[in-house]
Structures are given as structure tokens and as C-alpha cells.
Chain A
């Protein structure tokens, strides 16, 4: 069974602190996505990681991908309150049964940054 697990599921942190969210997946996927979701809203694309060793940074967020370990990380540097949201990773494996690719989302990490 395909699993995409995030750790931690909940994270409460002080402003100014650093932290890393982990995304482990159980199937082959040569690309990985990170999204942000605010309450009641749809998804906002943060990062698209397309190859092993890919690293991307935007502001206080940095994402990396290790396809051999089937692991991606989302690192938060000097957190601010505006980063409070739920973060999802997603993989894009080929479903050999249907012959189609599909997005499979992780369990999500609810981040709360305390002022």
C-alpha cells in the first residue's frame, strides 16, 4: 500500500526558531511537491522538486529531496507567525494498474507559530 507520511503531524513553535518537517513515501516517485493550506482555503504551491538532490528555497522555507531514501524535508528558518498553516507534501507515482500518474498527498503537518 502506498504511504506518504509526514512527521510531525502537529507542530507548535516559537517565532524565531528553526524546525524541519519530514515527508517519507513508500513508492518510487521522481518528483515531490510541497503545498501550503490555510484554513478554509485550497492549496498553494510552494515547491516542485524534480530530481534527486534537488534543493529549493523561498524566503524562510527550504525544501530538499532524496529519492533514494524516499525522503523530503521542509526546513523552516526563523519562523514567523504568518507561516502558521498546514503543510502537505505530495508524490506523483505511476499507478501500474491504471497506467496513469496521480498525486498522492501526505498526512499533513499543522504548524502553529506562536508570537
Chain B
């Protein structure tokens, strides 16, 4: 399968600061990227869908100004958690695919801890 790389794998930040998570498709051009959030022992919750060159489509209840998603190129999407608070601590996972593929591929995930 195709390779999706997510960075960093884990990050600890202070409350009130911002943190950026990168999602890269290493061996293909991803027309679509998805961002998920997962709390311990829960399922994956879709946060937003981003298509290259256009604004991300956020799911209901996800704050656009808090979770900034940028999909500036066909190989890179970023999620920036702005003014992070302890309740933003979670496991964030991205996935990437193309319009013609039958499945998307997942990054390794980023564990964010806000202290």
C-alpha cells in the first residue's frame, strides 16, 4: 500500500500554545486528506476533509478557528491546534487518498498532550 507519514509521533505542549501536525503522502499525490481525532478507548471521529487547493470541510461541532487545516500541496496537509488546552489532548490521525482509489491510507498518528 501507499505510505502516509505523520509528524510528530508525539508532542507535549503548554496550555495556550499552538502545535502543528504534518501529514505527508510519500509516494503518491493525495487529492484528499482526512483528519481524525481519537480519545482513549473510543472510535475515530472525523474532524475534517481537505481537498488540495480548496478549503477544508469541517464536521459539525469541530471548531474551524481552533483546528486549522491546510492542504497546500498534493503531498502535504497540516493540522494546527491553536491555543491548545488540556481537553485537546488526544490521538490525531490523518489519512490520504486519491479520487480514483478505493481506499485511503493512514498515518502513524500523533499523540498530543497539553499540560
Contacts and interface: CB of A to CB of B under 8 A. Distances in A.
Interface stretch (B64-72, B74-82, B102-110): B102-110
A100 B104 CA distance: 14
Interface stretch (A13-21, A37-45, A75-83): A37-45
A33 interface: yes
Interface residues of A, number: 20
Contact of A103 (B34, B41, B108): B34
Contact of A48 (B42, B45, B103): B103
Q: Does more than half of chain A's interface fall in helix, strand or loop, or is it mixed?
A: loop
Interface in B85-115: 93, 95, 102-109, 111
A100 B57 contact: yes
Interface string A88-110: 10000000001010111111101
Contact of B42 (A41, A102, A108): A108
A70 interface: no
Given A98-B57, A100-B57, A102-B34, A45 B103 contact: yes
Contacts, number: 47
Interface in A22-78: 31, 33, 40-43, 45, 48, 50
A41 B43 contact: no
Contacts of A103: 34, 46, 95, 104
B44 A88 contact: yes
B1 interface: yes
Nearest to B58: A98
Contacts of B95: 103
A42 B46 contact: no
B49 interface: yes
Contact of B43 (A31, A45, A106): A106
Given A104-B46, A105-B44, A43 B93 contact: yes
Nearest to B108: A42
